[in-house]
Homo-oligomer: A and B are copies of this chain.
Amino acid sequence: MSYPPPLSGSAQDETVELRPKFDAEGLVAAIAQDVDTGEVLMLAWMNADALQQTIDTGRAVYWSRSRKELWRKGDTSGHEQHVVEVRVDCDQDAILLKVRQTGAACHTGRRACFYRIAGPAGLTRT
C-alpha cells in the first residue's frame, strides 16, 4: 500500500490527510506510550503497511529492521499492544501510539525499554 506524498512547509503541518514522511528506507519512528500511566514504553519503526495495519486493526504492527519483516507486537511473545489512539506529528515523520500493553513492552522482559538513566559517569539502572 502507499500514501500520498508529504506536502511542503506548513501545508504538511495542517493537512487532515495522512501523508507520512518516510525516510530513505521507507520508515517512520513510532513511539508507544501507555495510555493510562503516560509511561513511554518503547520506540520502533513502521513502514506504510505497518502503519496502515495498525490503524485498521488496533494492534501495533512494526517493521523489524533486523529481520526485515512486519512484526505484529505480541504474536511471538504474547506481549500485545492494543492501540487506543494513533497520532502523527507536525511533519508526519513520527507516530505516537497510545496503547494498552499486555505484559512487557521490552524484549528484556521489562515493562518499558527506557530503564537506564544516562549521566556524566555512565548509565544507572532504575
Contact = CB atoms under 8 A, between A and B. Distances in A.
B16 A43 contact: no
A8 interface: no
Interface of A: 10, 13-18, 29, 31, 33, 37-40, 42-43, 55-56, 85-90, 94-96, 106-108, 110, 113-120, 122-125
Count this chain's copies in the assembly.
2
Given A13-B107, A16-B116, A18-B123, 8 more contacts: A10-B108, A85-B117, A86-B119, A87-B114, A87-B117, A88-B114, A94-B114, A95-B118
A55 B86 contact: no
A110 B87 CA distance: 15
